[in-house]
Amino acid sequence: MRIDLNNWSPSEIVRDLPTPVGIKAWGKYDESLQNSQMAIGATARRRRRPRAGAGGGVDQDRRAGVCASDLHYAYEWSLEIMPHLAAWELPVTLGHENGGWIEGGDPSWEKGTPVVVNCLWHCGNCYFCRTGETNYCEVAGPRGMSGGLGRDGGMAEYMVAPARCVVPLSSIDPADAALFTDAGLTSYHAVKLVLPRLQPGTTAVVIGVGGLGHLAVEFLRELTGAKIIGVDRSEAALQLAADRGADLCLPSDDTTAGKIMEATNGRGATAVLEMVGIDATLKMAVQCLRQRGRVVMVGIGGGSYPLSYTSINAGASMISSVGGSMAEMAEVIVLAEAERLKPHTTKFALDEAPTVLKKLKKGKISGRAVLIP
Ligand SMILES: [Zn+2]
Ligand SMILES: [Zn+2]
């Protein structure tokens, strides 16, 4: 058989995707059920403990982090903003930031092994999976085939994940590691996208120092010699940024970009990690950018910036970023197990999930919330 990676049809590869949750029928998205279809606890399909040995996946007793995107999924997003929701298998249990212990499934995984699950599942066969960029998988990612992102996720007693998407832990507790699978991994990948440019003497800005942003500050501190500037509306978040190694913390308003220009002798920042994604913060990101600088768009706030030849500094770029690869997932765990990261988490009981989502909506969660059944 001739292999042409660029021309493989996703539908051929999909048959090989080992998700015990089942991929035989794509979920039909019913717009009128948009909000009520997002479950916390477990959907009808997964109320019971999964049986071992099913479909090559890994069943876990688990802990789930609560992400701002859960909020959007549960209450705000529509098919218009997120067309990929059409592929979601509804109803779906939320929770895409997961850690736990192996319960059964793939026999090569020993029961009781502590693990985390990459927030973006991958098929293992497509072009990007084969080149190692599994977070850009053309089959699983955009087709709503990750746990909590189209398939049942971790805000339940048990979840099922493909074995290839799981990374073992050796010293940290899954409850403390869950946030590394999205908040950690997504911010790590964003930093990796600007890493070669961040020589000592350059400046990196993190806009939005929440669950992802505070870890982005930590990765910049661990991996670069750049000056780090944290920007947020909240005083508590700026305190967190300072505590995690930001050299300068600035409240977010109309004057922030100007202050960043001043702090960089009028040159601007080489990298801006934009963790919010609304019109105002995207504009700020571009306004404080150096020539040849790069804005990494991570936040999914639904905003936009009118990009044109003259609306951005010479040679500068804006790039979107999603999740992180399996290799990057392992790298984040290595850093965490070496105790070089200090994630800021608050733990809640699984039953409290609806309240936690409401608190998150009001900006009342500091760092990352983790649900424990
Ligand atoms: Zn997320
Ligand atoms: Zn793939």
Res. 202: pLDDT tops 80: yes
Domain closes at, from 276, 295, 320: 320
Write down the pLDDT at residue 76.
63
Number of domains in the chain: 2
**Ligand 2 geometric centre to CA of 133 (Å):** 9
Judgement on whether residues 60 and 149 belong to the same structural domain of the protein: yes
Residue 72: per-residue pLDDT:
67
Inform me whether the pLDDT recorded for 108 exceeds 80. no
Strand-pairing partners, residue 63, are 99
Q: Ligand 1 centre and the CA of 243: distance in Å? A: 23
pLDDT tens per residue, range 253-268: 999 999 999 999 999 9
pLDDT of residue 23: 18
List pLDDT tens digits, range 291-316.
Answer: 999 999 999 888 999 999 999 999 99
Do 289 and 225 lie in one domain? The reply is yes
- Rounded distance between C-alpha atoms, residue 315 and residue 201, angstroms: 19
pLDDT at 7 over 60: no
Domain that holds residue 262: 186-320
Q: What is the mean pLDDT of residues 271-293?
A: 97
Residues 232 and 258 in one domain: yes
Domain CATH for 194? 3.40.50.720
- Ligand 1 centroid distance, CA of 265 (Å): 35
Distance 220 CA to ligand 2 centre (A): 29
Mark whether 264 and 131 lie in a shared domain: no
- Looking at residue 364, its pLDDT comes to 81
Which residues are CB-neighbours of 34 under 8 A, at least 6 positions away?
Answer: 77, 78, 79
Strand ranges for the chain from DSSP E: 38-39, 57-66, 92-93, 97-105, 114-117, 146-147, 150-151, 158-162, 166-168, 203-207, 227-232, 248-251, 269-274, 289-297, 317-320, 345-349, 368-372
Mean local confidence (pLDDT), 179-197: 96
**What's the gap in Å between 280 CA and the centre of ligand 2?**
34
**Which ligand places an atom closest to the C-alpha of 142?**
2
Q: Which stretch, 68-82, 188-202, 351-365, has highest mean pLDDT?
A: 188-202
Whether 65 and 172 map to the same domain: the answer is yes
Q: How much distance in Å is there from the Cα of 129 to the middle of ligand 2? A: 4
How many angstroms separate the alpha carbon of residue 66 from the centre of ligand 1? 8
Give the closest ligand to the alpha carbon of residue 134.
2
Give me the CATH number covering residue 27.
Answer: 3.90.180.10
pLDDT, position 26: 19
Q: Ligand 2 centroid vs 127 CA: distance in angstroms?
A: 7
91 and 228, same structural domain? no
- Summarised one tens digit per residue, pLDDT across range 147-187 is 888 888 877 777 778 888 888 899 998 888 888 999 999 99
pLDDT given at position 219:
98
Q: DSSP letter at 28?
A: P
Asked if residue 28 has pLDDT above 50, the reply is no
CA 193 to centroid of ligand 2, rounded, Å: 20
Q: Are residues 45 and 173 in the same domain?
A: yes
Kindly identify the ligand whose nearest atom is closest to the C-alpha of 94: 1
343-345-350 Cα angle (round to 5): 140
Residues 341 and 353 in one domain: yes
Residues 316 and 360 in one domain: no
Using the mean position of ligand 2's atoms as its centre, give its distance from the Cα of residue 263 in Å.
42
> Do 311 and 352 have their domain in common?
no
75-89, 212-226, 272-286: least confidently modelled range: 75-89
**Is residue 48 pLDDT above 70, yes or no?**
no
> Ligand 2 center to residue 136 CA distance, Å?
7
Same domain for 64 and 119, yes or no, is yes
State the distance from the centre of ligand 1 to the C-alpha of 290, rounded, in angstroms: 29
Higher pLDDT, 274 or 47: 274
Of the three residues 320, 341, 356, the one that is the final residue of a domain is 320
> Exposed, middle or buried by CB within 10 Å (0-12, 13-18, 19+), for 131?
exposed
Residues 151 and 68 in one domain: yes
